[in-house]
Amino acid sequence: MTVEENLQQLGIILPEPPKGVGNYVTWVRTGNLIVTSGQLPWKDNLMLWPGRLGGEVNIEEGYWAARQAALNAIAQLKAATGDLEKILRIVRLEGFVHCASGFRDQAKVLDGASDLLVSVFGDRGKHTRLALGISDMPLNSCVQLGLWAEVSG
């Protein structure tokens, strides 16, 4: 199965890659690595579930927000490569979860991103991960993800 076939089977149409909110670009390629800027759960110019996990946002909402942010990250990879088949490996997911004090289920939230990456890229989607709870997030986003991928020549 190709990545595009996986997307189709999952019923996913990739969004436009979101623009940044400051003086930076949304991806850079260096050698065979692509790195994205921090991705937020934008969907059609709205941010999904702003707020804190363990506060206004529950785990299921956080899971879907993380999935949406990962979808935006995949859209950045598509913009960077033109063809997602060129992605050899998702190297690393950096997951930051906006939390109320005492929240401990960052892993369950970030699985929303990780599950999507594995569904879309198969074995090539098996990535390393950081999972951290952050007290304050730009624009009150409930998650922020950074993604590193290896790309073919």
Residues in touch with a second copy (CB under 8 A): 20-28, 30-33, 35-38, 54, 89, 91-94, 96-97, 99-108, 110-111, 114-115, 118, 126-140, 144, 146, 148, 150
User: CA 6: distance to chain centroid?
Assistant: 17
Residue found by looking up tokens 């304050």 in the block:
136
CB of 66 to a second copy, least distance (A): 11
Query: Which residue number, 61 or 94, has a Cβ lying nearer to a second copy?
Result: 94
Distance from C-alpha of 94 to C-alpha of 58, rounded to nearest angstrom: 20
In the complex, minimum distance from the CB of residue 96 to a second copy, in angstroms, rounded to a whole number: 6
Residues 6+ apart with CB under 8 A from 90: 117, 121, 124, 125, 126, 127, 147, 148, 149
4/115 with CB nearer a second copy: 115
Question: Among 114, 140, 144, 115, which Cα is nearest to 132's?
Answer: 144
Nearer to a second copy (CB atom), residue 85 or residue 104: 104
Least Å distance, CB 76 to a second copy, is: 9
Cα 152 from Cα 106, distance rounded (Å) = 32
Nearest to a second copy of 13, 81 (CB atom): 81
Do residues 151 and 88 touch, judged by C-beta distance below 8 A? yes
Shortest spacing between CB 16 and a second copy, in angstroms: 18
Query: Which C-beta is closer to a second copy: that of 13 or that of 23?
Result: 23
**Shortest distance (Å) from residue 115 CB to a second copy:** 5
